[in-house]
Amino acid sequence: MYWPTSRNERWFCWTVFAQAVAVLALEIYNLAQWESWIRPNGTQVPISYLIPINLSLIMFAVFYESLLSLKLVHDKSNILLLAICISKACVFAYSVMQYLSMEQNTHSIQTNQDMFGEPLVDLSRDLWKEIKPAEMLVPIVIGIATVIVCPVAYRLHKEYSWAIYQCVQGDPKIRFRYRGYEIYLVLIIFNVYFFIGFIVQYNLVDVHFIEPEFSLTMALIPAAVMLMVLSAYFVRYENKIGTIIVITCYLGLIAYIISRIILLCNPTGRGNTPGKDMMLLFAFLALIFTFLAMVCAIYCIVNFEHGLQTVFNRKSQIPRRSFVFQELPSRYNSARDSSRMSLE
């Protein structure tokens, strides 16, 4: 069931949802103001579409976090819980960087002109004064949401740890194998975000609608999403042939990302492009996540038919309310930590 059932889950999910709604509203406003400010001849400079891309990356990030929070309450995964908290801190840092970049870019583009001496923006408006409050609110909202969810995440961590302990029945080997499966899911989930972020930036800024490369590169986005779904499915049901095919796709993806990194590192040609630093950041992160996902997929194959299906079956049979906990009286000694909690 993809819906929060405990108080901590509701606090976590509703905070993430509220953050997403607020940030989406603020960024859509900023994007609308930017597009109304840029004149038609403004498309001659890359900054005119770099700013919308940067705004869209934050919107995609908070929306993606909302989907992940629903995935979290379904899977009860401590690894995913930690990953969401880390991603929120990263999105907060990126929102601060965006604020500084937006201020600089709105001022610099006002001094640019086209070949006929015409301005690229509507000089009758001071855009930065119009969007500064909204731009300032974005990191504030994300920061407040991050502060709220961190203590809630700690309480959820204790709940989920007990649930997994019940499923593996105290067997450390099976618990370790299950953690490997959880880590694999988190790797492929976040790999998709960074890979799509790189493709959008590279395709719109660097390739810039040159066919057939533009269409072929854009087709990698649905292919990456499909690969993520199939990766999780094949490992969940211990399909060796399917997982081997997925690993082969990972190798191809690694080769493609490396080729784009080499291309962007060349100071001439495609490497001479605005926004290259952000493209390389997303490319390197996508490369790291893809490599780690491939290694983890190999680890999962080795552990096929070693008790993971039993864990999945036990987990599906535990009622949703059994993941809600309460403290037992303190007279129980600390040597029996497992008895300090009971299922409601």
pLDDT of residue 335: 40
List the one residue out of 120, 150, 94 whose CA is nearest residue 34. 120
List the one residue out of 240, 245, 284, 238 whose CA is nearest residue 262. 284
What's the pLDDT tens digit per position in 72-123? 888 888 888 888 888 888 889 888 888 888 888 888 887 777 667 778 788 8
Assign 46 a pLDDT band (cuts: 50, 70, 90): confident
* Omega of the bond leading into 172 within 30 degrees of 0 (cis): no
Q: Are 100 and 94 in contact (CB under 8 A)?
A: no
pLDDT of residue 3: 76
| pTM to 2 decimal places | 0.80
Higher pLDDT, 293 or 51: 293
